[in-house]
Amino acid sequence: MLVDQFGRTIDYVRISVTDKCDLRCTYCIPEGFRDFEVPQNWLTFDEIALIARNFTELGVKRFRLTGGEPLLRKDLPQLVEIIKKIPGVEDLSMTTNATQLSKHAVALRNAGLDRLNISLDGLSTSVIKEITGLNCFNKVYDGIMAAKDAGFEQIKINMVPMLNINDNQIEPMIQFCIDNDFILRMIEVMPMGHTGQQTQGKNLSDFLRQIYHKYDLIESTEVRGGGPARYWKSKDGKFTLGLITPISQHFCETCNRVRLSVDGTLFMCLGQNDDYALRDLIRSPDCTDEAIKSAIYEAINLKPKKHEFIEDDTKITRFMSMTGG
Ligand code: SAM
């Protein structure tokens, strides 16, 4: 078992398969940004599997593929298949912007992907263009429907509500999720990179108080997921809401995860700079499983107690896409 110095068990690893993305969401990758990791530094699928297997042998049960946009990485269903075959993997999920999903949904499902989170910040084509920099709503919508048709259940729709940008999209998004049996997950903006730092997100704890009675919500523990969201369900069972509130109500004391970036660096916390580079170790000719496990233990020891998004909101200069959201 992996237990950090604050007694938290680490059983969840998020794997970034690329730091590239086809969108330029205003709170994430800045327009014109080109400084992406070079391909020779990307972990290969075999290297990712080697690290994942060592994590499972230390008690990790859940993995999520993310990025950047994970579906920009060629042959991703192959990686899904490889990870799913590792003994001890109980849950493999992916977070995607869905622009490429209509092409890949069936292959991902057949490869064994268990769950999908899809990012969508509104239902208006112009709002989506304004946020993502691309006229991509129809492609994303088709991708979401393709995932539903491919048989993915409990699809979660990630929305980042921003003041005066897309907060008028919240009601239509709730209705869209009710109509399609999706779970709406709202995320507070984190001050990551200058993009995140310049964005004014919505306080979701206040928002919950505002809509609690309107939708007759009760707290729910039914939803599957290894992450930090807390869930509520309407009493009629039709609407499920998940909230991720790193700013208004942080959840660091229950943090159970670390992130592996595309170049093989383990990040211990989104809101701190502690990291541990694994790539050189796993590429050294005499690398053993024992050495990898001992490096993982050392890394977990670096996991900080909490983020400092509020105390020091300019500390994190990397964008979310660099760590793997
Ligand atoms: N490209 C994929 C996608 O769009 O879902 C996966 C990576 S993306 C970085 C993962 C999630 O992080 C998305 O839901 C995105 O909205 C969210 N995100 C990015 N920057 C953020 C920030 N500064 N604060 C909060 N959420 C952020």
Interhelix angle for 101-111 vs 76-84, to 10°?
A: 20
84 is an annotated ligand-binding site residue: no
C-alpha 319 – ligand 1 centre gap (Å): 9
Give the 3-state secondary structure percentages of the chain, helix then strand then coil, rounded to 5. Answer: 35, 20, 50
Mean pLDDT across 137-144: 98
Interhelix angle for 45-56 vs 289-301, to 10°?
A: 70
Nearest-angstrom CA–CA distance, 299 and 160: 30
Nearest to 154 by CA among 180, 127, 186, 191: 180
pLDDT of residue 151: 98
- Token pair for residue 22? 């086809």
Nearest to 245 by CA among 299, 303, 185, 187: 187
C-alpha 208 – ligand 1 centre gap (Å): 21
Range(s) of the domain holding residue 228? 2-92+189-323
Nearest CA to ligand 1 atom 17: 325
DSSP one-letter string for 131-169: HHSS--HHHHHHHHHHHHHTT--S-EEEE--BTTTTGGG
Nearest CA to ligand 1 atom 4: 97
Number of domains in the chain: 1
136 is an annotated ligand-binding site residue: no
Q: 73: helix, coil or strand?
A: coil
Q: Does 42 map to a domain?
A: yes
Q: Does 239 map to a domain?
A: yes
Nearest CA to ligand 1 atom 20: 28
162 is an annotated ligand-binding site residue: no
Q: Does 225 map to a domain?
A: yes
Q: Does 80 map to a domain?
A: yes
pLDDT of residue 285: 96
Nearest-angstrom CA–CA distance, 281 and 295: 9
Token look-up 């969201």 returns 229
C-alpha 54 – ligand 1 centre gap (Å): 27
Residue with more model confidence, 140 or 229: 140
Contact predicate 194/30, CB 8 Å: yes
C-alpha 70 – ligand 1 centre gap (Å): 12
CATH of the domain at 44: 3.20.20.70
Q: Does 81 map to a domain?
A: yes
Mean pLDDT across 164-184: 98
Confidence of residue 302 (pLDDT cuts 50, 70, 90): very high
Nearest CA to ligand 1 atom 10: 325
Mean pLDDT across 196-211: 96
pLDDT at 120 over 90: yes
- For 162-171, the pLDDT digits (tens) are 999 999 999 9
C-alpha 325 – ligand 1 centre gap (Å): 5
Q: Does 141 map to a domain?
A: no
pLDDT of residue 114: 98
- For 228-280, the pLDDT digits (tens) are 899 999 999 999 999 999 999 999 999 999 999 999 999 999 999 999 999 99
pLDDT of residue 228: 83
Pocket of ligand 1 (CB under 6 A): 21, 27-28, 66-67, 69, 95-97, 119, 158, 160, 187, 189-190, 192, 196, 320-321, 325
Q: 8: helix, coil or strand?
A: coil
Q: Does 232 map to a domain?
A: yes
Contact predicate 81/111, CB 8 Å: yes
Phi-psi region for residue 98, left (φ > 0), alpha (ψ -120 to 50) or beta?
A: left
Q: Which stretch of 51-65, 167-181, 224-238 has the lowest confidence by average pLDDT?
A: 224-238
pLDDT of residue 314: 96
pLDDT at 203 over 80: yes
Nearest-angstrom CA–CA distance, 185 and 240: 9
Q: What are phi and psi of 279, to 5 degrees?
A: -60, -50
Token look-up 């969840």 returns 12
Contact predicate 72/20, CB 8 Å: yes
C-alpha 286 – ligand 1 centre gap (Å): 37
Arithmetic mean of pLDDT over the chain: 97
119 is an annotated ligand-binding site residue: yes
Q: Does 309 map to a domain?
A: yes
pLDDT of residue 175: 98
Nearest-angstrom CA–CA distance, 251 and 160: 18
262 is an annotated ligand-binding site residue: no
C-alpha 291 – ligand 1 centre gap (Å): 33
Nearest CA to ligand 1 atom 26: 189
- The ligand 1 atom nearest the CA atom of 191: 23
**Percent with pLDDT over 70 in the chain:** 100
Mean pLDDT across 148-152: 98
pLDDT of residue 59: 97
Nearest CA to ligand 1 atom 12: 325
Mean pLDDT across 60-70: 98
Nearest-angstrom CA–CA distance, 121 and 117: 13
Q: 276: helix, coil or strand?
A: strand
Task: List all residues 6 or more positions away from 305 whose beta carbon is below 8 Å from its beta carbon.
Answer: 6, 252
Mean pLDDT across 315-324: 94
pLDDT of residue 227: 76
